[in-house]
């Protein structure tokens, strides 16, 4: 492209003595036309999606900032029976807090500072929660219709994401009211209302399930779903019909099941 621009500029100069094309504007046009090939490292992150040319298989190539998407500690994964079990539970305390409901373009999300979790001796603050349809993790081959992620961050940047599956039941779930519509609004909310009564779960080391796919996440995935209605699932799908990344290889990572 640079060579072609140079050639064009020389031809213009020779043939038309001025030709109207200023070198600045030509070089700007060139940068724009090839921006998707070599993103400016200081520019905004590349656009990505859940299907097509910018879908999950291409994430790592879309932007150097997304290189981790090709890593060997990626999420989600297929969860299944494991020989490794423990009874080491997390300790989450959530207060009633104002949350701001936003539509990120990739999920319906509630930004909040309403709580903290102590996990493995480290304190993590709740930052936001959001929902994927269908679920991203699978359990013994089952894929639930939706999965909520509660994202907690420690001061050192480490993340704990607590995942809760939704399954279809007969009645609306009050814990999902208001925020799943994705409307720009604020609301008071206690995130622990999203937890199932039985809190047995899988844990493993993984990543964000969206670019930049950072491998800084300790996952806690509850295996007991909470119930929601068909109407609430329809409301979710009306926002995002499919915002779930396919399962990634577990590799040699340890999967632990934490008993109730």
Chain positions contacting Zn ion, by CB under 5 A: 149
Yes or no: say if 236 and 242 are a contact pair by the CB < 8 Å rule.
no
Task: Quote the CA–CA distance of 170 and 168 in Å, as a whole number.
Answer: 7
Question: C-beta of 99: minimal distance to Zn ion in Å?
Answer: 16
Nearer to Zn ion (CB atom), residue 12 or residue 154: 154
| Alpha carbon distances (Å) from 209 to 27, 85, 143, 151, 260 | 36, 25, 16, 12, 26
Looking from the CA of 164 toward its CB, the CA atoms found within 13 Å total 20
Question: C-beta of 221: minimal distance to Zn ion in Å?
Answer: 11
Nearer to Zn ion (CB atom), residue 62 or residue 244: 244
Nearer to Zn ion (CB atom), residue 239 or residue 259: 239
Question: C-beta of 132: minimal distance to Zn ion in Å?
Answer: 5
Task: Quote the CA–CA distance of 164 and 100 in Å, as a whole number.
Answer: 20
Task: Quote the CA–CA distance of 56 and 43 in Å, as a whole number.
Answer: 21
Nearer to Zn ion (CB atom), residue 137 or residue 149: 149
Question: C-beta of 100: minimal distance to Zn ion in Å?
Answer: 17
Nearest residue to the partner Zn ion, using Cβ? 149
Pairing mode of beta strands 122-132, 146-153: antiparallel
Nearer to Zn ion (CB atom), residue 19 or residue 205: 205
């Amino acid at each position: 492209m640079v060579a072609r621009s140079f050639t064009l500029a020389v031809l213009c100069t020779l043939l038309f003595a001025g030709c109207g094309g200023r070198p600045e504007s030509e070089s700007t046009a060139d940068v724009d036309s090839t921006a998707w090939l070599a993103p400016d490292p200081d520019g905004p992150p590349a656009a990505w999606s859940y299907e097509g040319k910018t879908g999950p298989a291409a994430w790592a190539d879309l932007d150097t900032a997304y290189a981790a998407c090709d890593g060997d500690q990626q999420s989600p994964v297929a969860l299944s029976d494991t020989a490794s079990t423990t009874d080491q539970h997390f300790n989450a305390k959530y207060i009633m807090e104002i949350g701001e409901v936003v539509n990120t373009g990739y999920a319906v999300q509630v930004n909040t500072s309403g709580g903290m979790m102590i996990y493995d001796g480290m304190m993590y603050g709740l930052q936001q929660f959001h929902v994927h349809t269908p679920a991203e993790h699978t359990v013994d081959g089952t894929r639930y219709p939706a999965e909520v992620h509660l994202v907690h961050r420690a001061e050192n940047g480490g993340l704990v994401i607590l995942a809760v599956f939704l399954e279809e039941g007969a009645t609306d779930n009050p814990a999902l009211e208001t925020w799943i519509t994705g409307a720009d609004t604020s609301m008071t909310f206690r995130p622990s209302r999203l937890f199932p009564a039985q809190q047995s779960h899988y844990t493993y080391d993984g990543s964000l399930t969206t670019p930049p796919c950072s491998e800084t996440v300790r996952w806690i995935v509850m295996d007991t779903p909470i119930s929601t209605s068909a109407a609430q699932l329809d409301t979710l799908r009306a926002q995002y019909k499919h915002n779930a990344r396919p399962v990634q290889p577990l590799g040699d990572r340890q999967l632990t099941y934490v008993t109730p």
